[in-house]
Amino acid sequence: MNTPAPTRPPLTHVPFSSRTLPSLDPLPPPWPAAFEEAGTARLHIRRTPGPDAVPAVYVHGLGGSSTNWTDLAALLAPVAGGTAPDLPGFGCSEPEEGFDFSLQAHADVVVRHIETVGGPVHLFGNSMGGAIALLVAAQRPELVKTLTLISPAVPDLRLDPRRLSDPRMALAYLPLVGARVRAQLAALGPRERAAQVIKLCFADPSRFPESRLEELTEEHGARAGFAWAAPAMARSTFAIFRAWSTRGKASLWSVAPLVKAPTLVVWGREDRVISVKRAVRTARAIPRARLLVLPRTGHVAQMERPIVVAKAVLGMWEHVETGSW
């Protein structure tokens, strides 16, 4: 007699932890940072102190940095300390010569960082960082204990200028008009740039604290002084579109079923960058995934709804430990 295959839990059955979380009042400052080696890469990494247990590794998205994880890392710190690297070409991490900015190249850097930290880890990724984390979990399963994907950059080829922090970005690298548009964009002040990003990524930009806007403004101001920052942004953007147009075994949709780790997929219902319409397909493609869709939330749920995301993550970790995920 054939033994029936185990049934998969309901896709949207996400247990929430009842654990009391640390307060975010006042908001914690960005975690201490230092430059560390990851193979041949020199990364700017923020470290969150925590128990000597399974660590967390947080991977930011396109145009983001390690500070995108400040609040979520604070909420999870009593259970898991963590590291949040600035990917090559972002934050304060200068890319090494010859770095090609493909998703695979970024994933290779994250793998080397995890090997330095000592896996397996609880791996997090948002947006481009979600696609990178997906590659890491599929290719190096022994390094990943659990996976949390927040609006991962799976293929979404909609032609919609609302997906850009400034619609002129769509013209910035075209012949003839590109140079003039790039000059216009470069003339924007760091606070205006920061406000544009929040307007794009938050469902309700008014919820973004003024102190966080000041931090982001300072970060954008510093980034404007790095000669490698704009080329890194452009090349990473093009690399995402190349990955989205890839077919066959190298497609992200083909990679997702290879992930063995218990996975939580989180999406904001009002995500303007990667459509929530991709959420169910993403979660279904990963064998041990469950899906949490949050109302009144945009592209960076870990920043806009950190407490809800932390409760869901802790719920996953608790159920993984009891074998009930």
Would residue 223 count as lying in a domain?
no
Chain centroid to Cα 98, Å, comes to 24
Which residue segment(s) compose the domain that 112 sits in?
33-155+231-321
Neighbours of 37 (CB within 10 A): 12
Residue 131 in any domain: the answer is yes
- The DSSP symbol for 80 reads -
Is 256 a member of any domain? yes
The tokens for 135 are 């590659």
Reading the chain (325 residues) residue by residue, the pLDDT tens digits are: 565 556 778 999 999 999 999 999 999 999 999 999 999 999 999 999 999 889 999 999 999 999 999 999 999 999 999 999 999 999 999 999 999 999 999 999 999 999 999 989 999 999 999 999 999 999 999 999 999 999 999 999 765 555 554 444 444 444 555 556 455 556 568 898 899 899 999 999 999 999 999 999 999 999 989 999 989 998 998 999 999 999 999 899 999 999 999 999 999 999 999 999 999 999 999 999 999 999 999 999 999 999 999 999 999 999 999 999 9
Q: Look at residue 142 and tell me if it is in a domain.
A: yes
Joined tokens for residue 320: 């993984």
Cα–Cα distance measured from residue 244 to residue 223, given in angstroms and rounded to the nearest whole number: 27
Asked if residue 151 is part of any domain, the answer here is yes
DSSP string, 1-39: -PPPPPPPPPTT------PPPPP-SSPPPPPPEEEEEET
In a domain, 18, yes or no: no
Q: Could you give the 3-state DSSP secondary structure of residue 308?
A: helix
Q: Residue 269: which CATH number? A: 3.40.50.1820
Q: Is residue 100 part of a domain?
A: yes
Domain count, the chain: 1
- SS3 letters for 210-253? HHHHHHHHHHHHHHCCCCCHHHHHHHHHHHHHHHHHCCHHHCHH
- Ramachandran sector of residue 145 (left: φ over 0; alpha: ψ -120 to 50; beta: rest): alpha
Residue 37 lies in a domain: yes
Q: Which helix (H) or strand (E) holds 149?
A: strand 144-150
**Strand, coil or helix: 155:** coil
Quote the pTM value: 0.93
